[in-house]
């Protein structure tokens, strides 16, 4: 493979995670593309323009460019409305991937593309069209799946399993030449809920930038982020939306305080999605209702490379998400030597080795989360053992390894006939 078109329609990989709809997917797209670029593959990321200040093309590093495509208003648009502009995006990306006669690009213009890698269902829909227009293999990473969310959210009606998005996902999965899953759990969900062909599911675990996320001195990290004292610090990192269940972290810390622990909670993240603002207000009201306003700090999203100080400052990181395909926060925390207490779902069940690098919780019970924190931090020796194990677990995950697996498995797609609808 020499050249790859990467679709990230709804969110730019250069966005700051934790702001709006930006999150783990943006980290994944940026880091995977960067790792592929360093292997010598020319990567072009196509994303929707949201500001007039964005250049047409940004050279991020050698072999990696981000192209801002005008499709719909040059402004932030609610995620639910972005489907309206997907056709315009697809047409413009098609134009960018071909010469004026609709033929593959010449070597003078960078050479023809060998494959398309689409991220999230909207990009996958665009990628499906481009696959057939250009006769190129389509690789799709969905990051979240509508039927998985429907299964884990009691508020979603059964008909959500046949929503417009779920049907679109199923159509793409049926025609994609490869569907990338981050873990065995996600692969099983693709088989069970979308009848995906097991032969076309590639399990490629995500990676971690160990240069940024590595163990450090807790006292220095606390000083860097303005924390005084040596009490127990719990950390939640993520977008503020119902799916992430930050309220469970708040209730768990309240329970720990009731038990007499000198505990505080830092919540790093901002509102996301159509329920984001309401969820943030509910979270603040819950903190006041429980009488722990002096123990909970709300911190605006931070640049990704600065998050390591927050991880190192914490004793335990809480990841109580209702569903999680990646669990990138859990991996970043582990790489910094911080034990994780997480819900036993999706990628979290792979990244957190239960009773070794952290603890997995099966129920949405704040007492269970509080018990887990108590178990990990009962003695300095226990906390240290969990932390050392976490580093060992995280060391196996690198973006270079992920990129090499991607390239190795892609070679066969370039040479063989494509899957048809």
Domains of the chain and CATH, by start: 3-207+399-415 (3.40.50.2000), 218-394 (3.40.50.2000)
Separation CA 417–CA 415 (nearest Å): 7
- CA angle centred on 351, ends 145 and 354, rounded to 5°: 120
**What DSSP designation does 105 have?**
P
Report yes or no: 127 and 172 within 8 Å, Cβ to Cβ: yes
- Kindly state the tokens that stand for 307: 């998050």
Take residue 170 and report the two structure tokens written for it: 């199923």
Residue 151 to residue 258: CA distance in whole angstroms: 33
Q: What is the pLDDT at residue 323?
A: 86
Residue 159 is predicted with a pLDDT of: 60
CA distance 308 to 13: 19
Q: What is the mean pLDDT of each run of 10 residues along the chain (421 residues)?
A: 96 79 84 97 98 96 98 93 96 96 88 96 98 96 89 64 88 97 93 96 94 94 90 95 94 97 94 84 95 95 88 97 89 97 93 96 96 96 97 96 96 81 86
| Distance from chain centroid for Cα 139 | 17
- How far is CA 142 from its chain centroid? 10
What is the reported pLDDT for 271?
Answer: 87
- pLDDT score recorded for residue 383: 96
Residue 21: predicted pLDDT: 62
Rounded-to-integer distance, Cα 85 and Cα 202, Å: 30
Distance CA 287, CA 305 (A): 28
Nearest to 42 by CA among 105, 102, 128, 126: 105
Nearest by Cα to 263 from 225, 238, 236, 289:
236
Q: Long-range contacts for 155-161 (Cβ within 8 Å, ≥24 apart)? A: 161/193
**DSSP category for residue 18:** T
d(CA 337, CA 333): 7
Neighbours of 152 (CB within 10 A): 16
pLDDT of residue 243: 87
Which CB contacts under 8 angstroms, 24+ apart, belong to 193-196? 193/145, 193/147, 193/148, 193/151, 193/161, 194/145, 194/147, 194/169, 194/170, 195/170
Q: Name residue, tokens 């494959």.
A: 115
Identify whether the C-beta of residue 309 lies closer than 8 Å to the C-beta of residue 218. Answer: no
What's residue 19's pLDDT? Answer: 64
Q: What pLDDT digit, counting tens, does each position of 18-35 carry?
A: 666 667 899 999 999 999
DSSP 8-state code for residue 280: H
Short-list 90, 180, 185, CA closest to 131:
90
Q: How many C-beta atoms lie closer than 10 Å to residue 29's C-beta?
A: 28
**CB-hemisphere CA count at 13 Å for 54?**
20
Helix 399-415 / helix 24-38 crossing angle, nearest 10 deg: 70
Nearest CA to 202 out of 177, 170, 165 is that of 177
Single out the residue of 391, 381, 328, 326 nearest to residue 358, CA to CA.
391
Q: How far is CA 7 from the centre of its chain?
A: 15
Exposure class string for 229-251: b at 16+ Cβ within 10 A, else e: eeebbbbbbbbbbbbbbbbbbbb
Nearest-CA neighbor of 2 among 62, 38, 43?
43
């Amino acid at each position: 493979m020499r050249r790859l078109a990467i679709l990230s329609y709804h969110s730019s990989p250069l966005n700051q995670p934790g702001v709006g709809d930006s999150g783990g997917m943006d980290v994944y797209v940026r880091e995977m593309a960067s790792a592929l670029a360093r292997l010598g593959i020319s990567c072009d990321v196509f994303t929707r323009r949201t500001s007039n200040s964005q250049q047409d093309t940004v050279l991020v590093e050698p072999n990696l460019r981000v192209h801002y495509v005008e499709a719909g208003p040059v402004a932030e648009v609610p995620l639910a409305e972005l489907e309206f502009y997907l056709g315009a995006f697809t047409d413009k990306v098609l134009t960018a991937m071909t010469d004026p006669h609709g033929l593959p690009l010449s070597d003078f213009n960078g050479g023809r593309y060998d494959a398309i890698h689409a991220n999230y269902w909207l990009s996958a829909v665009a990628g499906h069209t481009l696959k057939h227009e250009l006769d190129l293999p389509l690789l799709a990473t969905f990051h979240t799946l509508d039927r998985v969310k429907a299964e884990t959210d009691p508020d979603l009606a059964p008909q959500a399993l046949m929503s417009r998005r779920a049907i679109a996902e199923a159509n793409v999965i049926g025609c994609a030449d490869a569907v990338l899953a981050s873990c065995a759990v996600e692969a099983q969900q693709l088989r069970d809920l979308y009848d995906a062909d097991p032969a076309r599911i590639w399990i490629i675990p995500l990676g971690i930038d160990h240069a940024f996320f590595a163990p450090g001195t807790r006292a220095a990290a606390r000083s860097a982020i303005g924390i005084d004292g040596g009490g127990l610090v719990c950390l939640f990192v993520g977008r503020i939306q119902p799916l992430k269940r930050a309220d469970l972290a708040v209730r768990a810390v309240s329970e720990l305080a009731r038990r007499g622990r000198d505990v505080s909670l830092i919540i790093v993240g901002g509102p996301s999605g159509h329920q984001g603002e309401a969820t943030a207000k509910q979270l603040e009201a819950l903190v006041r209702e429980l009488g722990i306003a002096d123990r909970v700090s709300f911190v605006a999203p931070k640049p990704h490379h600065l998050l390591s100080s927050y991880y190192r400052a914490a004793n335990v990181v809480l990841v109580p998400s209702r569903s999680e395909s990646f669990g990138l926060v859990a991996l970043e925390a582990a790489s910094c030597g911080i034990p994780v207490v997480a819900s036993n779902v999706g990628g979290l069940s792979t990244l957190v080795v239960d009773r070794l690098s952290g603890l997995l919780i099966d129920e949405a019970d704040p007492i269970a989360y509080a018990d887990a924190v108590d178990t990990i931090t009962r003695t300095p020796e226990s906390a240290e053992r969990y932390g050392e194990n976490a580093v060992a677990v995280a060391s196996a995950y690198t973006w270079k390894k992920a990129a090499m697996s991607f390239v190795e498995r892609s070679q066969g797609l370039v040479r063989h006939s494509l899957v048809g609808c």
